[in-house]
A and B are shown apart, each in its own frame.
Chain A
Amino acid sequence: MPDMQHLNDLVIQVRRDILRQVHKVNSGHPGGSLGCTEFFVALFQELMERKEGFNMDGKGEDIFFLSNGHISPVFYSVLARSGYFPVEELNTFRLLNSRLQGHPTTHEGLPGIRIASGSLGQGISVAIGAAHSKKLNNDSHHVYTLCGDGELQEGQNWEAIMYAAGNKVDNLIVTVDYNGQQIDGSTDNVLPLGNLKGKFEAFGWDVMEIEQGNNMEAIMNGMKTAKSKTGKGKPVCVLLHTVMGNGVDFMMHTHDWHGKAPNDEQLEIALSQNPVTLGDY
């Protein structure tokens, strides 16, 4: 049984990391990061079978790709707190000569990162390639990827979605951060995604929804179900209903904090809503 208290403590600490990272450099993307905090913690702490240390090839372990690279603050925090690099390095987020670039990259050799992302719509394709590679290597582990819902407006996704079903890439679990928000407003206002579940299904995917995408138990149960659906000839899609900015009341249910950092006063309020658990970096 997972230690739920520890996981929830970690979630709060990761929220603090996200807020402090973006505040320090007055830039970055807190909204989507906060919305996916529980998912990242669950994935890296409980769901993925990971090896000690970092090897680019990821043989014999589950691997993860972040397609919507702008939510790097949550990725970096969870990687650091999962042992990939020292948590103190979160202090260097977006600074000159840092390995923690604005968007994730392999270029600086940061452990845990297997592909650069930021220009949207490319993660599912990359994950498919890695999934093929696993099968060729007789490696029964899984490939996970997370993409944004607004990101699905990029056409390359649908090339990849068509391909994965057509080629029975069934060791792949794609999670969509379904928060309904993007930079210019709600996805409904910018470019409606329509019936997303129906679209994935029509393309031949096994689709499931996690209605409470910010609830640790719901995520764990849902993602375990998703894993049980692999190996059956279909790629698996999880529509993870999240709240952008989750855990900070004034950042929730709006696209305003997609790519904006809190000022000193706002940071103080946000941190007070998430008191220290495991210790700040």
Chain B
Amino acid sequence: MKKYIDSGKKDTRSGFGAGLTELGKTHPNVVALCADLTGSLKMDDFKANHPERFFQVGIAEANMMGIAAGLTIGGKIPFTGTFANFSTGRVYDQIRQSIAYSHKNVKICASHAGLTLGEDGATHQILEDIGLMKMLPGMTVINTCDYNQTKAATIAIADHHGPVYLRFGRPKVANFTPENQSFEIGKAVQLQDGNDVTIIATGHLVWEALQAAETLNEQGISADVINIHTIKPLDAQAILKSVKKTGCVVTAEEHNYLGGLGESVARVLAQNNPTPQEIVATQDTFGESGTPEQLMEKYGLNATAITKAALKVMTRK
């Protein structure tokens, strides 16, 4: 079993900020827009280094999406930054028409996704954004798992032509993927090789999946663990290859079970190789105030929940 070491807890949003700082140096056409959340999105460095390429739009996200779409005309690569809730649901029609349907090269970068936003509560904890964004034709949807991966993804999407939704979060979490890794959009990352059960996780749940795999290993169960950072386009090949070995699968995500990663995986399996699946996700509910740990415990989004789901799905083979 491979050993993954947490090099020190860091927030994924800081990975985004670091990636953007890099892009500022390497990509003169990258511009950034923010809706009054520059500090929260860790865009301060980019703003300080490139004031002429940074656009503070104020608390006006709809306008931000439109301006971003317009900036692409003339060859700019705009990165928008605000919370996930205000990056998606609040501006869905602007994204749909001015960005997705118009196929504009806009990178919608969304922090504070999911329950781990914590104490601010349900008004800010979007659990529907993956579904909203993956339904848009031509939209690439990425949900990264730690600081290093978020930084790598931020840099990678600048060279991908087309609209991208990049989802990350607020809390400090384990940083365990390699520094300066290459990031391939649409390519799953195999984290553990196992034969008894497949665990496919995205975002903050990837680390939890690794912890669950260790617990299962202690019980003599070997889990195949896959980090799906790109939910669309989904790496169907990696999923099918894994379930061929294991015959059952658990998906794990910080998102509603409706519209999320679990459903995307279920579709691939139903069409190609029907396989028992358990979905670790929120159960069609809004969130609430609390610490990230309390919320992930209450809503069943941690290693314990993944372990339980793995044991259950193995009985359904």
Question: Which of A's residues lie within 8 Å of B, judged by CB?
Answer: 56-59, 63, 65, 105-107, 114-119, 121-134, 136-137, 139, 155-156, 159-160, 162-163, 166-167
Task: Point out the residue from B52, B71, B94 that lies within 8 Å of A130, measured CB to CB.
Answer: B71
The yes or no answer to B39 lying at the interface (CB within 8 A) is no
With A58-B73, A125-B98, A136-B74 in contact, do A163 and B60 touch (Cβ < 8 Å)? yes
With A107-B102, A118-B97, A122-B98 in contact, do A133 and B63 touch (Cβ < 8 Å)? no
Residue ID in chain A nearest B103 by CB atoms = A106
Which B residues are in CB contact (< 8 Å) with A133? 70-76
Which B residues are in CB contact (< 8 Å) with A117? 97
Task: Point out the residue from B58, B68, B74, B97 that lies within 8 Å of A134, measured CB to CB.
Answer: B74
With A107-B102, A163-B60 in contact, do A57 and B67 touch (Cβ < 8 Å)? no
B73 with A122: CB separation less than 8 A: no
Which B residues are in CB contact (< 8 Å) with A137? 74-75
Q: How far is the CA of A106 from the CA of B31 in the complex (A)?
A: 23
The yes or no answer to B93 lying at the interface (CB within 8 A) is yes
Question: Which of B's residues lie within 8 Å of A, judged by CB?
Answer: 31, 52-53, 55, 57-58, 60, 62-76, 78, 93-94, 96-98, 101-104
Which A residues are in CB contact (< 8 Å) with B78? 129
B67 with A126: CB separation less than 8 A: yes
A130 with B70: CB separation less than 8 A: yes
B98 with A116: CB separation less than 8 A: yes
Q: How far is the CA of A200 from the CA of B104 in the complex (A)?
A: 29
Q: Across chains A and B, which 7 residue pairs bring their CB atoms closest together, nearest first?
A: A129-B70, A125-B66, A133-B74, A159-B63, A159-B60, A129-B67, A126-B70
B68 with A129: CB separation less than 8 A: yes
A129 with B75: CB separation less than 8 A: no
A129 with B73: CB separation less than 8 A: yes
Residue ID in chain B nearest A131 by CB atoms = B70
Knowing that A58-B74, A59-B74 touch, tell me 8 more A-B residue pairs with CB under 8 angstroms: A106-B102, A119-B93, A126-B98, A129-B78, A132-B31, A136-B53, A136-B74, A139-B74
**Nearest CB of A to B75, in Å:** 5
Residue ID in chain B nearest A115 by CB atoms = B102
Q: How far is the CA of A131 from the CA of B73 in the complex (A)?
A: 9
Which B residues are in CB contact (< 8 Å) with A118? 97
A160 with B63: CB separation less than 8 A: yes
6 A-B pairs with CB atoms under 8 Å apart are: A57-B75, A107-B103, A115-B102, A125-B69, A133-B74, A159-B58
Which B residues are in CB contact (< 8 Å) with A57? 73-75
Task: Point out the residue from B31, B57, B63, B69 that lies within 8 Å of A136, measured CB to CB.
Answer: B31
Which A residues are in CB contact (< 8 Å) with B75? 57, 59, 133, 137
Task: Point out the residue from A56, A139, A160, A166 that lies within 8 Å of B66, measured CB to CB.
Answer: A160
Which B residues are in CB contact (< 8 Å) with A128? 63, 66-67, 70
With A156-B94, A163-B57, A163-B58 in contact, do A130 and B73 touch (Cβ < 8 Å)? yes
Residue ID in chain A nearest B94 by CB atoms = A122
Task: Point out the residue from B52, B57, B70, B102 that lies within 8 Å of A127, measured CB to CB.
Answer: B70
Which A residues are in CB contact (< 8 Å) with B58? 159, 162-163, 166
**Nearest CB of A to B79, in Å:** 13
Which B residues are in CB contact (< 8 Å) with A123? 66
B60 with A132: CB separation less than 8 A: no
Q: How far is the CA of A160 from the CA of B66 in the complex (A)?
A: 9
Q: How far is the CA of A115 from the CA of B52 in the complex (A)?
A: 25
Residue ID in chain A nearest B57 by CB atoms = A163
B71 with A115: CB separation less than 8 A: no
Which B residues are in CB contact (< 8 Å) with A134? 74
Q: How far is the CA of A137 from the CA of B52 in the complex (A)?
A: 11
Residue ID in chain B nearest A107 by CB atoms = B101
B62 with A159: CB separation less than 8 A: yes
Which A residues are in CB contact (< 8 Å) with B67? 125-126, 128-129, 132, 160, 163
Residue ID in chain B nearest A156 by CB atoms = B62
Task: Point out the residue from B53, B57, B60, B69 that lies within 8 Å of A126, measured CB to CB.
Answer: B69
Which B residues are in CB contact (< 8 Å) with A131? 70
Q: How far is the CA of A127 from the CA of B70 in the complex (A)?
A: 6
Residue ID in chain B nearest A67 by CB atoms = B66
Q: How far is the CA of A107 from the CA of B137 in the complex (A)?
A: 11
